[in-house]
Structure 1
Amino acid sequence: MSPPLRQLALQFAAVVAVLSLAWPYYGIRGEALPWAGVVLAIGAAAFLLAALTRQPWWWQTMHALFAPLAWAVAQLQIDPGWFLAAAILLLLVYRGALSGQVPLYLSNRETADALAELLPAHPGLRVVDLGAGLGSVLRPLAAARPDAHFVGVENAPLTWLAGRLLCLGRRNCELRWGSLWQTPLADCDVVYAFLSPVPMAALWEKAKAEMKPGSLFISNSFPVPTVEPNAIVEVGDGRATRLYCYRR
């Protein structure tokens, strides 16, 4: 079962477990369900199931809060159109989180400075940022290395558009809308990614198959499972960022 379906199944199981007890109990007594208490019980049951199945702490928290928050929002009687608008906006900005479990992470300036130190010195260098977001790495690198060419790939439409506008005027920097899985890596000297733990194993297989010998793969914060990096760079920022470097 895929991770999203697994979480839906846990939440559904909590709902069924609580309602299968609450409905008969209050039905026999001829009383209406006390929904405030029921949704709290559903949240507690979902948290317990998530903990028993050893889900990450953030999933446990989300399971505990989902039903109570959904009920609380329902009491506000907000027009459904606003929820549709919010869902569309989230899709436009955070498409990667929905389609590939890759949240929108923005690399900071300290990370860009550390990456600049890692780039090979030869002119004509080609660097690709997979999941470039707003181009927060591309823009400072393009300014620091006018002799190199930088390409970012982003699949969230609104995020891509904002990043592309921010990159305007930089001749050695471009932001493309597309999937990182469809991006060819054969002509890249350096590939940078700041994604999540989920796609790292598959992305490394793609990098091994496509990147040329001697090229460099750099992952921000998330190492490739079971693969020893050639180097680990401590950025020294407030996030305690680490750059995991793998030589192809």
Structure 2
Amino acid sequence: MRQFALQGAAVILVLSLAWPYFGWRAEAMPWLETSLAIGGVALLLATLSRQPWWWRLIHAGFMPLVWATQRLAIDPGWFLLAFLLLLLVYRGALSGQVPLYLSNRQTVAALADLLAERGPCRFIDLGAGLGSTAVPLADALPEHHFTGYENAPLTWLAGRLLGLGRPNLDWRWDDLWQARLGDYDVVYAFLSPAPMARLWDKVQAEMKPGSLFVSNSFPVPGATPERIIDVDCVPARPLYCYRR
């Protein structure tokens, strides 16, 4: 809502000046120049409010791209198709503020070392995406059992196909909040800061003593991890480990 408000403020500011000026001169509104002006004001507001660099780019380019899209006269059906495809991939971002994050090879290697220390166990990946964590771990540690929970249909399907032929991998299309964490020895999550407090409540209520909860990049607010594994990658992706 903050981003919508910022972009809206830029639109209102520019149009409140442009409309009276061109109306008084009885001239048509130059929409290209107007959209560029809105993008410039939005960039300024985003900079003044100390938005991350990617939000500044989004604000600067949003209205010029709207103008360019309007000029292309694209059939509305294509926008509907794009929306449906995005929903199939990023359903978690819409329903639970959990975007699609893919674990890198360095993180998978660090997790493999951690699991090897524990010996054969049952591992669950909450929000498993395309299987970038569970699939290579299942290959590297055949004596362990892995389960992936993913609720976005298209990413679940991709992960299901990528995970075929692995008897130690169970791939489920379901909401992570429906997972029974007490059935697992290690619970792994690469989500976002938004659900961490709620997830920690679920971890405390369900996970059995001696089990391990591992959060990639996002610590549990108000809880002290037993161990932090610094993964050698850029950007930094520390693993926060909490023992029950």
Q: How does the TM-score come out when normalised to structure 2?
A: 0.90
Give the 3-state SS of the residue equivalent to 1:245 in structure 2: strand
Partner of 2:118: 121
Distance 1:48 1:199, change over 3 A: farther
Q: Counterpart of 1:168?
A: 164
Q: For residues 57 and 205 of structure 1, do their structure 2 counterparts lie closer, same or farther at Cα, with a shift above 3 Å needed?
A: farther
Equivalent residue for 1:243, pick from 233, 239, 243: 239
Q: Distance in 1 between matches of 2:140 and 2:190?
A: 20
Q: Deviations over 1:73-129 (max 9, x none)?
A: 221222222222111111111222333332222112222121011125343x21110
3-state SS of 2:183 partner: coil
Code of the residue aligned with 2:160 in structure 1: it is: R
Shift of the alpha carbon at 1:241? 2.9
Q: Is 1:180 aligned to residue 166 of structure 2?
A: no
Judging changes above 3 Å, is the alpha-carbon distance between structure 1 residues 102 and 174 closer, same or farther for their aligned structure 2 residues?
A: same
Structure 1: distance between partners of 2:196 and 2:55? 20
216, 227, 234: which is aligned to 2:223? 227
- Partner of 1:186, secondary structure, is helix
Which residue number corresponds to residue 10 of structure 1? 6
Match of 1:76, as an amino acid? L
Question: Following TM superposition, by how much is the alpha carbon of 1:57 offset from its aligned partner in structure 2, in angstroms?
Answer: 3.3
1:169-221 Cα shifts (integer Å, max 9, x gaps): 11110111121222221222111111223322332232222222221111112
Q: Equivalent residue for 2:137?
A: 141
CA distance in 2, matches of 1:198, 1:110: 25
The separation in 2 between residues aligned to 1:108 and 1:170, in whole angstroms, is 20
Describe how 1:184-223 pairs up with structure 2 within 5 A.
Answer: 184-223=180-219
For residues 19-30 of structure 1, what are the structure 2 equivalents within 5 Å?
Answer: 19-30=15-26
SS at match of 1:75: helix
Q: Percent identity?
A: 67
Please name the residue that 1:80 is paired with.
Answer: 76
Residue 28 (structure 1) shift: 0.8
Match of 1:31 in 2: 27
CA distance in 2 between counterparts of 1:26 and 1:218 reads 59
Aligned to 1:65: 61
Any gaps of 5 or more consecutive residues in structure 2? none
Q: 1:48 to 1:182 in 2, by over 3 A?
A: farther
How far residue 154 of structure 1 moved from its aligned partner, in angstroms, is: 0.9
Distance 1:100 1:61 in 2: 25
Alignment of 1:90-109 (within 5 A): 90-109=86-105
Task: Quote the Cα distance in structure 2 between the aligned partners of 1:107 and 1:238.
Answer: 12
Tell me the distance in 1 between the aligned counterparts of 2:55 and 2:234.
25
Q: What secondary structure, in the 3-state scheme, does the structure 1 residue paired with 2:182 have? A: coil
Residues 137-165 of structure 1 show CA distances to partners (whole Å, capped at 9, x for unaligned) of: 11122223223221111111011001011
Q: In structure 2, how many angstroms separate the alpha carbons of the residues matched to 1:206 and 1:53?
A: 35
Q: Distance in 1 between matches of 2:200 and 2:55?
A: 26
How many residue pairs match? The answer is 243
The answer as to 2:36 corresponding to 1:40 is yes
**2:60 is aligned with what amino acid?**
A
Q: Distance in 1 between matches of 2:196 and 2:44?
A: 29
What CA distance in whole angstroms lies between the structure 1 residues aligned with 2:35 and 2:193? 32
Larger displacement relative to structure 2 (8-17 or 28-37): 8-17
- In the alignment, the residues of structure 1 paired with residue 22 and residue 46 of structure 2 have an alpha-carbon distance, to the nearest angstrom, of 27
Structure 1 letter corresponding to 2:190:
F
Give the letter for the 2:231 counterpart.
V
5+ unaligned residues in a row in structure 1: which ranges?
none
TM-score, length-scaled by structure 1 = 0.89
